[in-house]
Each structure stands twice: as C-alpha cells, then as structure tokens.
Structure 1
C-alpha cells in the first residue's frame, strides 16, 4: 500500500491542525522539520473539521487549511466537514 502525505508550514496555527490529524489517524506518522511538518499515512488520511475545531477551540473552515499547506499526495475527496487523501485502486 502506497503512502499519502500532507505537509504544512510549521507555525502556531498548524500545531492544532497537525494534532487533530494525528488524533484522527493513529496510523499516521509526523515528520517534524525546522520549517514544516509532513504527515505520512499508508493508503488513507482523513482531516476532520470537528477535530481541528476541538484542538483550536474555535470554529474552523477547512479552506483555511490551504493557507499553510505546502504539498500533498493522493487523490483528494473534500466536503465541508472532511478532507480525505487516498489512493484509488
């Protein structure tokens, strides 16, 4: 199974996003670097609006995530509540 990944600029706002992604994807691994955080996961990675809101303590629009997004790999399925990366077979 191939990995999907998502990488963010490393800053105060992305700390909560990364924490939420890791909470919802226990199989994911964060690679923390000086200027970015890359999260790898085998096959599928889900980003949930509700978990990010819990981590941030405020409402969050998933489109805000794109401000700090550096790169990603995988097929994207995006709704108002979830952003999913996966590989279709």
Structure 2
C-alpha cells in the first residue's frame, strides 16, 4: 500500500489541522520540520471538518486549510465535511 501525504506550514493556525489529521488517521506519521509539518499515511488520509472544529473551537471551512498547504500527494476528494487523499489501487 502506497503512502499519501500532506505538507502544511508549521504555524499556530495549522496546529489544529495536524492534530485533527492525527486523530482521524491512527497510522499517520508526523514529521515536524522548522517551517513545515509533513504527514504520511498508508493508503488513505481523511481530514474531517468536525474534528478540526473540535480542535480549533469554532466553525471551520475545510477550504481554509489550503492557505497553509505546501504540498500533497494522492488523489483529492473533497466535500463540505471531509478532505480525503488516496491512491486508486
């Protein structure tokens, strides 16, 4: 199974996103760098709006994540409630 990944800026705003990804993806491997955070997940990464809202303490539009996005690898599926990266294996 191939990994997918997402890379976000290392800043206070993306901290809740990283925490939500880890909560929603127990197999996530987080690599903190000085200016970025890379998260690898085998097969499929799911980010749920509801989980980010729990972490951030307010309503959250998943489109806000793109302000902090540096790179990603995988096919993207987006709804109002979920952002998913996966490979069509």
Considering the TM-score relative to the shorter chain, is it more than 0.5? Answer: yes
1:3 paired with 2:20, answer no
TM-score after normalising by structure 1: 0.99
SS in 2 for 1:34: coil
SS in 2 for 1:70: strand
1:37 paired with 2:37, answer yes
User: Any residues of structure 2 matched to 1:50-69 within 5 Å, and which?
Assistant: 50-69=50-69
SS in 1 for 2:37: strand
Provide the C-alpha distance between the structure 1 equivalents of 2:30 and 2:7, rounded to a whole number of angstroms: 9
Provide the C-alpha distance between the structure 1 equivalents of 2:35 and 2:58, rounded to a whole number of angstroms: 25
Q: Which residue pairs with 2:71 in the alignment?
A: 71
SS in 1 for 2:4: strand
Provide the C-alpha distance between the structure 2 equivalents of 1:76 and 1:64, rounded to a whole number of angstroms: 15
Q: Which runs of 5+ in 2 are unaligned?
A: none
TM-fit CA distance, 1:23: 0.5
Aligned length: 89
Provide the C-alpha distance between the structure 1 equivalents of 2:23 and 2:32, rounded to a whole number of angstroms: 16
TM-fit CA distance, 1:87: 0.4
Q: Which runs of 5+ in 1 are unaligned?
A: none
